[in-house]
Amino acid sequence: MPIVIAGSAAFPADGPRPVLTVGNFDGLHLGHRHLIQALVQQANTIGAPSAVYTFDPPPRVVLSPEGRTPRIQSWTDKVRIMGDLGVDQVVVERFTPSFAQHPAQWFIDEVLRRRIQPIELVVGYDFRFGRGRAGNVDTVREALPSIPVRQVEALQLDGNTVSSSRIRTAVGEGRVAEAAILLGCPHRIRGTVVHGDARGRTIGFPTANLQTDAELMPADGVYAVRARSDGGPWLNGVANLGTRPTFDCVGFLMEVHLIDFSGDLYGSEMEVEFVKRIRGEAAFSGRDALVEQIRHDVEQARGMLCP
């Protein structure tokens, strides 16, 4: 799927005009998927390419750096899911303080009318654009009356709108199974396996210590997970997030024990999907009590992860 960095014409003047959606899409949750599926369906119906116009970094990072909320998904995961949903092209706008000052009319003239020239727009229920979020669906319809604009209603789940804030809260509180329902997939973290103190190996449960720049981390505790390294097969595992209170309580660690696996993972890139929380982090009276609890955690994870 082509990715175009905005700033020049995204589509050839003599090529097919796309059906376009616009948004930040911070974590492609069920609500965003609902919108993108409507985009792709409409594009397929009229025989046009589908395109997503989005931003990097997210606008909130630039506009409110002091109160920024954590990014739910990496850029790689976000684009991968768009491709899986059938999007033909992603147009990425570098969001800067100067870009944020452009009024709504500039966006209409420069982005819609000159660069992308969509044949239709499919947008979300809360679609706003331009300085101060002054532009909306009516602004586009008045300025570009020849371009149909379809507005997709908010997706409701359990009587509430599916939103990024609901997902952040669920993940931050360790309710990863609930977050997976809202996201449409498990919350995923990616990082590099680095050397630790090898304490897990000495007690019979070797762990991969993950160094990650992920912004949204689940609450401290023990989780049933699936993990893979360097794009290999997904394996069942148990992840511990926290400070290891039974031992040193020094610094935050994310450790992953892969069930029934042996091998060298150092230096590999590992992806971890959080399936369900097993328990919170706890201190134990000693090594034997900890080992017994880990055995119990592994058996619980097997039951959660195996059909």
The pTM (predicted TM-score) of the whole model is 0.87
Phi and psi torsions of 27, nearest 5°? 85, 110
CB 52 within 8 A of CB 82: yes
Is a pLDDT exceeding 70 seen at residue 10?
Answer: no
DSSP 133-175: G-B-HHHHHHH-TTS-EEEPPPPEETTEE--HHHHHHHHHTT-
Q: What is the Cα–Cα distance from 205 to 290, expressed in whole angstroms?
A: 11
Q: What is the pLDDT of residues 33-52, one digit of tens each?
A: 999 999 999 999 999 999 99
> pLDDT tier at 74 (50, 70, 90 boundaries)?
confident
Q: What is the Cα–Cα distance from 64 to 158, expressed in whole angstroms?
A: 31
Q: What is the Cα–Cα distance from 120 to 304, expressed in whole angstroms?
A: 45
The whole-angstrom distance between residue 303's C-alpha and the CA centroid of its chain comes to: 27
What is the predicted pLDDT for the residue at 286?
72
Of 18-32, 104-118, 273-287, which gets the smallest average pLDDT?
273-287
Q: Which residue has the higher pLDDT, 56 or 246?
A: 56
What is the predicted pLDDT for the residue at 170?
97
What is the predicted pLDDT for the residue at 59?
83
Is a pLDDT exceeding 80 seen at residue 68?
Answer: no
Question: Average pLDDT over the chain, rounded to whole?
Answer: 89
- All residues at 6 or more sequence positions from 131 whose CB lies less than 8 Å from its CB, including other chains: 100, 101, 102, 103, 104
Q: What is the pLDDT of residues 156-172, one digit of tens each?
A: 988 899 999 999 999 99
Region 129-140: mean pLDDT is 95
Q: What is the pLDDT of residues 261-281, one digit of tens each?
A: 988 899 999 999 999 999 998
> pLDDT tier at 197 (50, 70, 90 boundaries)?
low
Is a pLDDT exceeding 70 seen at residue 251?
Answer: no
Of 126-130, 169-173, 288-292, which gets the smallest average pLDDT?
288-292
Region 132-147: mean pLDDT is 96
Dihedral sign of CA atoms 212, 92, 90, 25 in order = positive
Q: Report all structural domains of the chain as residue ranges with CATH numbers, in order of start.
A: 3-157 (3.40.50.620), 188-305 (2.40.30.30)
CB 35 within 8 A of CB 50: no
What is the predicted pLDDT for the residue at 64?
78
Q: What is the Cα–Cα distance from 69 to 209, expressed in whole angstroms?
A: 25
What is the predicted pLDDT for the residue at 58?
83
What is the predicted pLDDT for the residue at 3?
62
Helices (H), the chain: 30-46, 59-63, 75-84, 97-100, 104-106, 137-143, 164-172, 176-183, 199-202, 287-305
Q: Output DSSP code: residue 299.
A: H
> pLDDT tier at 60 (50, 70, 90 boundaries)?
confident
Q: What is the 3-state secondary structure (H, E, C) of 165-207?
A: HHHHHHHHCCCHHHHHHHHCCCEEEEEEEECCCCHHHHCCCCC
What is the predicted pLDDT for the residue at 195?
83
Most confident of 48-62, 69-83, 138-152, 199-213: 138-152
Quick one: what percent of the chain has pLDDT higher than 90?
68
> pLDDT tier at 153 (50, 70, 90 boundaries)?
very high
Of 82-96, 212-226, 254-268, 283-297, which gets the smallest average pLDDT?
283-297
Is a pLDDT exceeding 80 seen at residue 111?
Answer: yes
